[in-house]
Structure 1
Amino acid sequence: MNRIVSVILVGALTMTGAAFANAPESNRAVTNVQLVSSDGAAEAESSGIVEMVMGAEDAPITLIEYASFTCPHCASFQENVFGELKANYIDTGKVKFIFRDVYFDRFGLWASMVARCDGPERFFGIADLLLSKQDEWSRAGDPVAIADALRKTGRLAGIEDAQLQACLRDEDKAKALIKWYQTNAGADDISSTPTLIVNGTKHSNMSYEDLKKILDAELEG
């Protein structure tokens, strides 16, 4: 956890270099994020940042996934585990699912800002698109190319260019998201992704079969 936070603090989220300096104003994303508040929860709330929740509020199991949009294991979890988890546990009222972003790098932050760009109702659909196309946008090239690829992905999700621009250049929200991430990940001692917390107990990445055993054991009580 300390390693991740220190990377962010020393400016891993800062877009630098001639490529960005020469980019048109319309192609720019958040360029420099400074941490200014010691109260991550308050800052997040004041910036309109909310938990991304799917499933019944009164479900007997609460499952939190800590994930990064640039993490290949998270993309694999989305592809190979989440579909069955949703169909068999979330949609049936057994699991309340919470997705919490982790920022290993600036590109994960930008992807989060795109996923959150059109409100909570559309977050999970856009997040699924970003994770399924992770190889395309995360390897697009330099930071400007990656920001442009993220915009293209956002447009595929039906978000207008002007709205995407506003989201990607919202420095106040970027600061709040980082602080929100630090507060949550620090409290739960998150050092890798995906990390799953099932009714308060932390687990590493796993297959659907292994997750099913844990969930069924919780339901049997």
Structure 2
Amino acid sequence: MAARCDSCHARPAPCGVRCRRRFPASGAFSLAFAGSALAQSAIAADVAKPVSLPDIAIGSAKAPVTITEYSSMSCPHCAAFGQNVFPMLRSKFIDTGKVRFVFREFPLDIKAAAASILARCAGKGDSEKYLSAVETLFKLQERLMAKAKDMLIYVGKLHGMTEQEVEACEQDQAQFDKLTADQQYAYKELKVTSTPTFFLNGVRLHGAMSFEELEARLKPLLKK
């Protein structure tokens, strides 16, 4: 936004009066830029802090860009991203060592929380198996929301679990408590208020993105 003229208050100044505040002094600009960079670095550090549940991460730990997504299994935009954007992101950037991708749960309701816990149990600490279960849950999202218990058992069986194992998984209160703690941290410290929310090297982005939009944001970061 252009600064207002000190005399006539128009934007930009048509009055011919010299506008002393049109451009910031170079020193002030440098300080503002440095402050912004420090704030972004601080957010990136907060995002990278260990949380209660083990991170679901794929891609090189040495990748120049880390994308952290906060997602809910009941969120249609999250499902659309997972099905339409993530495969291209993975092929072009994650599998080529340019991006490390971290998936974190931010359940918007109890059904989403139950689905997240199921994916954790199905994955057994393996990020690829976890994301495979998430992919299935997103594909069956409407049915999951309509008949949660039946669909959790169905998805669990698809990923090698017995009905008894699914039930035991969903009764693990300690896992739900950790999930709640991580969600509270994201809400209070990282200002995550909706899904999907992404962090690109500490830059917070709310809402769904197309692959083209995401790629446009990644390219400048990969040139650094």
TM-score normalised by L of structure 2: 0.73
Whose radius of gyration is greater, 1 or 2? 2
2:202 to 200, 212, 218: 200
Question: Pick from 173, 178, 183: which aligns with 2:180?
Answer: 178
1:209 paired to 2:215: no
Gaps of 5+ in 1: 1-40, 141-145
Higher alpha-carbon deviation: 178-187 or 206-215: 178-187
Per-residue CA deviations over 1:54-86 (Å, capped at 9, x if unaligned) read: 111111000000100000010011111000001
Could you tell me how far 1:154 is from its partner in structure 2? Answer: 1.3
Matched, 1:160 2:162: yes
1:48-197 aligned at under 5 Å gives the runs: 49-118=53-122, 119-121=124-126, 122-140=129-147, 146-197=148-199
What is the 5 A alignment of 1:39-54? Answer: 44=52, 49-54=53-58
Count the aligned residue pairs.
172
- Identify if the C-alpha distance between structure 1 residues 42 and 191 changes in structure 2 by more than 3 Å, giving closer, same or farther: closer
* Percent of matched pairs sharing the same residue: 33
CA contact (8 A) 2:152 2:166 kept: no
- The answer (yes or no) to whether the contact 1:196–1:203 under 8 Å persists in 2 is yes
CA drift at 1:106 = 0.4
Structure-2 separation of matches of 1:192 and 1:87:
27
The one-letter amino acid paired with 1:82 is F
Distance 1:115 1:69 in 2: 10
Render the CA deviation track for 1:89-146: whole Å, top value 9, x for unaligned: 1111111100110121100110001000031311111111111111111122xxxxx1
CA contact (8 A) 1:74 1:194 kept: yes
Distance in 2 of aligned mates of 1:139 and 1:161:
19
CA drift of 1:186 comes to 2.2
Deviations 1:12-37 (A, max 9, x none): xxxxxxxxxxxxxxxxxxxxxxxxxx
| Structure 1 runs (4+) greater than 3 angstroms displaced | none
TM-score, structure 1 as length reference: 0.74
Q: Which has the higher contact order (CA 8 A, sep 6+)?
A: 1
Task: Provide the rounded CA distance (Å) in 1 between the counterparts of 2:196 and 2:120.
Answer: 19
CA change 1:43–1:54 in 2 (3 A) is closer
Q: Distance in 1 between matches of 2:104 and 2:157?
A: 23
Aligned CA RMSD, in angstroms, stands at 1.6
Q: Which residue of 1 aligns with 2:30?
A: none
- Structure 2 residue aligned with 1:218: 221
